[in-house]
Structures are given as structure tokens and as C-alpha cells.
Amino acid sequence: MARHLLDPLLASGGGDIVTGLAIPMSVGTLAAFMDLPDEDREQWVAWVRQMYDPRDAAAAGAATDAYYGYIDDLVDAGRGAFVRMLLESEIDGQRLTPDEVARFMRVLLIAGHETTAATLGYSLHHLAQYRADLGRLRGEPELVPLAVEEFLRLSSPVTLQARNATCDVELRGITIRRGEVVALGFACANRDEEAFPNAEECILDRTPNRHIAFGFGPHLCAGAHVARLELQVVLEEVVAKVDTIALDPDRAPEWNSTGSVRSLMTLPVRITARETRDNESDEPVEITTVKE
């Protein structure tokens, strides 16, 4: 999937790498995970793009209704292995209702799409600005998993979490009453100098890197492993195939200024492909031993 999305950008010398790669990669991975029909791919990618576009609230609402209706229809028809697995599952001896299955699939989409796409966009934005880091990853591709963690720390796509106070508590002179809603701006913890020396710098091989981009404790993101793998695969493909990537001087990136997720809506770039030598083909090479 990553190769399929990256190749057209390389062939055209650039484009919007958020709408062309980050968003469809994120949505496509979730769709594959949820076993959504391949023939519907273009339709649900279009819906999801519109759902998360803050510039047209009415269109976003209509796309949300259409997508949720689509999920409801899949569940009602029991279509796809993932839907059938959920419908046949039991929790404490009780089957999930179709409505519960549909709601669970919606949560997967909301929790897993925008956050991963945001981190992908941030990572590519960084590499477009700092060519030395792309060069280092090309020379040391084994650093990609560590770089993923550093991009997660710096991007901190989810900036806020809301909690309800379970009792009265005083915090630094402020009394929080039981039942009050507290908004925790926990992303700033990922740039705490006491936890991360030179916290504002991107250090690709930073270790240890105990960031909380996925939350922490009992609220740790259930899809963290899938997101990490997705980010790693995309960066591996970029490192292997891209020679240069730079911000398009004629078109500025657009940042999403609403909600609690910090993300890029567009990221126009100019991009060139690495020259592939004969012994660097993507296809496996069969080695034949010739006896003198």
C-alpha cells in the first residue's frame, strides 16, 4: 500500500503528500484491518477526508452520516470476516449487538485514522525541512524504528484528554470539584526537559524515549502496535525510494486549527526518486552458482 501511494508522487515529481500518502495510507490500513470491501475504497476514503476537513462543517456532517450508514449496512448484512467475528464474539457469555459492533467500528476509525495520519504528515514535513535527517536514515535504515518514536514524541498528535474528577482535589492552589471535567494538555509532557534532554530537538536515535504520545497506564492506545508498524513501513519506503524531498516554495502547508489533534491538512512537496542500480531492484534476485 505504501509503495502504491508513493510511486505516483515520485513519478510526478511531487504533490500533496498528506492527501496523496498520509491520509489514504492511514484510512487504507484501517480498512484492511476491518476487512472493508476493496471495491468501495475510493468512496470511503473520500468520506473520511471530508469528515476530518474543518473548512466545511455541513459537508463533514453529511460525509459522517453517509459513512456511519455504510458501516451500519455492513453490520446488518454480516459482510466481511471482521464484522462476522465481532457478531459471533461473546463478552461474559453475552453476544455483542449489531449496534455495539457498529459503534466499535466507528471508534476504530476515529481513534486510528486522524492520529496516525497526523504523525505521518509531521514526519514527512520534518524530513522535507531537514535533509540531513533523511540522509542519516538512508545511511542507517536500522534507525527507522527509533525515528518513529522521536516523531511521535515531537508531533504528539493528540494534545488533550478529558477526564471527570472522581473527588474534590486541590492542585497548585486550584480546587477541582468532584464531577467537574478536566482537560489535560498532556502533550507538553513530551517536551519536558527533565524527561527529555534537548527536548525541542529531533534526535533520531534518542534512547530512552518514554514519550506518552499513545497515552499511558490503563488508557494506553489499544492500536499503538499497528500505528507504529504503519509509520515504520512508510518511512522505510521513503528512505529506500526518495532521493530528495522539499517543501513546495509555491504552496504553503495547511494546518488543521480545530479539535484536539494537531495535524496537517495539506503538505505540498517537491520530490525526486533515487536512482536504482541494477543490483538494487525491488524484485528478489535469484543467485546461481556457476562451477568452473
> How many domains, in total, are found in the chain?
1
* 109 part of a folded domain: yes
* 188 part of a folded domain: no
User: Residue 145, preceding bond cis, omega within 30 degrees?
Assistant: no
* 206 part of a folded domain: no
* 180 part of a folded domain: no
- How far is Cα 187 from Cα 157, in angstroms, rounded to an integer? 8
* 6 part of a folded domain: yes
* 13 part of a folded domain: yes
Tens digit of pLDDT at every position of the chain (292 positions): 999 999 999 999 999 999 999 999 998 898 888 888 878 877 877 888 788 777 888 998 999 999 899 999 999 999 889 999 999 988 899 999 999 999 998 888 777 888 899 999 999 999 999 999 999 999 999 999 999 999 999 999 888 888 899 999 998 899 999 999 998 888 899 999 999 999 999 999 999 999 999 988 888 888 899 999 999 999 999 999 999 999 999 999 999 876 677 889 999 999 999 986 444 444 443 433 333 3
* 105 part of a folded domain: yes
* 65 part of a folded domain: yes
CA-closest candidate to residue 17, choices 243, 257, 253, 282: 253
Q: What is the CATH classification number for the domain harbouring 80?
A: 1.10.630.10
The parent domain of residue 254 ranges over: 2-155+224-276
